[in-house]
Amino acid sequence: MQPVLDDHLHLDPVNGRGADAAAEFAEVGGTHLLVLNKPSWSLVGAVDDESGFRETFDLTVEVTEAADALLDGRAWPVLGVHPALISKLVDRGYTPEEAADLMKAGLDVAAEYVADGPALAIKSGRPHYDVSEAVWDASNDVMRHAFALGAEVGCAVQLHTEGGDDFSTVAEWAEAEGLPREQVVKHYSAGPVEGPVPSVIARKDELLAAAESGEPFMMETDFIDDPDRPGAVLGPKTVPRRVRWLREEGYDEALERAHVETPARVYGIDTEATLE
């Protein structure tokens, strides 16, 4: 059996299918999952202090453990603060700086979960939509804080950002905070990117671009687990099916890179040894 990793998917134990979606992933050959917490507002509502983040993370750790029991490999939580939270907080009367401080406190908690064991990595980033200069600057400050925490606890940081393929400045910021660029992951990449390691959305054209680049990459669905949007962004069966397709197309070396070599390099996980 070959490892098949989905590098970024959400399981929602409150509103969605939770671990049942992981069972669907396993049925078609999926073996390993990185489970990202849903935004705090969609799991626990408005957050004004650390306790709301803890509740969000505990729900995610719990559903990830349930998913882990269904896989031939492993499931790991990746915890953090969705960058769009800054807009929600500013709309509620926070200044961008106050919002950034609360988000940093949430990231501090996420780093604690990495240091203490259940979580594998941290998630941060900046808004993928137009914002004021003050919000943009505060968001970059939050992201740099995530890099400093990743360096401190020795883990990777997954980024939710605007689109594009040149994030070399972001990788330089990570290195300035002590985090190697190989431990910065650009979630929802459309192929190779400059700077971080791309986590490529599992659509055929994007995957071919990554496979043919010869560069490190991973695959993801960004499955949202929202009953109002079934299959959004991509369904949980997509990565295993795309793996099968890439194998048929002769991309064995790229698959080894995406599901064994790159995860080992970025997260320090062994997807082969963790297969039963």
Domains of the chain listed by start with CATH number? 5-267 (3.20.20.140)
Collect contacts of 49-52 with beta carbons under 8 A, ≥24 apart: 49/102, 49/105, 50/105, 50/106, 50/108, 50/109
Chain position carrying tokens 């687990």: 225
Q: Who's near 16: CB < 8 A, 6+ residues apart?
A: 10, 224, 225, 226, 227
Q: Who's near 154: CB < 8 A, 6+ residues apart?
A: none
In tens digits, the chain (276 residues) has pLDDT values of 999 999 999 999 999 999 999 999 999 999 999 999 999 999 999 999 999 999 999 999 999 999 999 999 999 999 999 999 999 999 999 999 999 999 999 999 999 999 999 999 999 999 999 999 999 999 999 999 999 999 999 999 999 999 999 999 999 999 999 999 999 999 999 999 999 999 999 999 999 999 999 999 999 999 999 999 998 999 999 999 999 999 999 999 999 999 999 999 999 999 999 997
Spatial CA neighbour of 71 closest among 267, 240, 193: 240
Calculated CA dihedral for residues 94, 110, 158, 96, nearest 10 degrees: 10
99 residue type, one letter: A
pLDDT of residue 141: 98
pLDDT of residue 276: 76
CB-CB contact of 204 with 242 (8 Å): yes
Spatial CA neighbour of 35 closest among 53, 16, 22, 51: 22
Q: Report pTM.
A: 0.98
247 residue type, one letter: R
230 residue type, one letter: P
Q: Who's near 198: CB < 8 A, 6+ residues apart?
A: 185, 186, 189, 191, 192, 210, 215, 217, 218
Sign of CA dihedral 19, 24, 26, 30: negative
> Is 275 exposed, middle or buried (CB count within 10 Å of its CB: 0-12, 13-18, 19+)?
middle
101: tokens are 């401080």
pLDDT of residue 16: 97
Q: Who's near 151: CB < 8 A, 6+ residues apart?
A: 177, 178, 179
